[in-house]
Structure 1
Amino acid sequence: MANGLLVPIYRDVYNEDFSSNTFSNRMQMQKLIYLLQEAGISIGDYSFHWYKHGPYSQQLQNDILVSKTDNNYHIRYSETAKNIVNQLALILNKNTKYKKHEWAECLASLQYLRSNVFSIHSTDREIIKELIKRKPHLSDYSTDELALKELKSMYN
């Protein structure tokens, strides 16, 4: 079943139109919905697991592929949801050494590792080292540190 909130929330966060024909847009959508769920905002009943590009949901992918663009639909957010969406927009649109979809992949992958692989006693260095091991293309340590700092400000 298609989720009518996907395209509007993508537009609200990334401030650009969504195209399911573009791999980078689909990846950015996957990472956005994962990060929203991690922050307690449910956009659908999506379960995520580790995949080639970090957290991935097949159910979400199915919804993405049949999503329709409705430029007239606007989401009314609660105050809490609005704050989270705005904070994620600032983080996901940050200018870094990574391409936009890689930055989203970096953030979501680090959050997944923090939540599902490592304990609260793990060091930043251990988490980043694991990210680089799993994803050599995300090996700019200072950018990964920035991502982890942003995640901690949002999720701690």
Structure 2
Amino acid sequence: MWFIAYKLNPNVSLNRLEDRLLLQKIGYVVQEILGYNLGYKFSWYSYGPYSRTLSRDLHAYETACIARGNMLDDRSLSQLVDRFTSIYVKAQSLCKDEPMARTLEIIASIHMLAKNTYPPSTDPVADLIRIKPYIRKTCAEEIERMLREEGIIEKLSSDQVK
């Protein structure tokens, strides 16, 4: 996670809330969307998916997170970073005015609502906007569409299309 965070922002620091949120969302995307089991359990939080254990690891020391990343060989790490970057760049291009952490919050939140809640949301954008009114609906809709096109969340059936 640190490697990805530093690639996105070389000045990442746990002293800033936005960077802590960034690291939480990177952890969620890597584990839940890209399928690399990092051993974290994520719950819903005011800023989207959140893991207490990941937070403790982040605050304990940076090497705990780096050590978890070392389970991947260089090729796997490179593929992981490439896939993560591809998803992030596509989402950021859809919501150019959003800061990095907010874009990742939207990606992770829509995914969690669509796949990792019970019952899964049938309209993750509407649920997200209801829970987080500060998120722009058009941005969330575009990111949801991209996640569906990428096969990250299931495509809507014809009777579900808005």
* Structure 2 CA distance for aligned equivalents of residues 151 and 67 of structure 1: 33
1:143 aligned partner:
139
Gap regions ≥5 residues in structure 2: 154-162
1:9 aligned partner:
4
2:31 aligned partner:
37
User: In the TM superposition, what is the alpha-carbon distance from 1:61 to its structure 2 partner?
Assistant: 0.5
1:3 aligned partner:
none
Question: Which amino acid letter does the alignment assign opposite residue 100 of structure 1?
Answer: M
Question: Which amino acid letter does the alignment assign opposite residue 86 of structure 2?
Answer: L
1:51 aligned partner:
45
Shift of the 151–82 alpha-carbon distance from structure 1 to 2, 3 Å rule, reads: farther
Q: RCO greater where, 1 or 2, for CA within 8 Å and sep 6 or more?
A: 1
* Structure 1 CA distance for aligned equivalents of residues 128 and 82 of structure 2: 26
Aligned to 1:64, which of 41, 53, 58? 58
2:79 aligned partner:
83
* Structure 1 CA distance for aligned equivalents of residues 35 and 145 of structure 2: 19
Question: Which amino acid letter does the alignment assign opposite residue 48 of structure 2?
Answer: G
Shift of the 37–68 alpha-carbon distance from structure 1 to 2, 3 Å rule, reads: closer
* Structure 2 CA distance for aligned equivalents of residues 154 and 77 of structure 1: 26
CA root-mean-square deviation? 2.5
- What pairs up with 1:83-122 in 2 under 5 angstroms? 83-93=79-89, 94-95=92-93, 96=95, 97-117=97-117, 119=120, 122=122
User: In the TM superposition, what is the alpha-carbon distance from 1:147 to its structure 2 partner?
Assistant: 1.3
3-state SS of 1:150 partner: helix
Shift of the 141–49 alpha-carbon distance from structure 1 to 2, 3 Å rule, reads: same
User: Between Structure 1 and Structure 2, how many residues are aligned?
Assistant: 140
User: In the TM superposition, what is the alpha-carbon distance from 1:78 to its structure 2 partner?
Assistant: 3.7
User: In the TM superposition, what is the alpha-carbon distance from 1:35 to its structure 2 partner?
Assistant: 0.8
- What pairs up with 1:10-29 in 2 under 5 angstroms? 10-12=5-7, 14-29=8-23
Aligned to 1:131, which of 121, 128, 131? 128
CA contact (8 A) 1:92 1:104 kept: yes
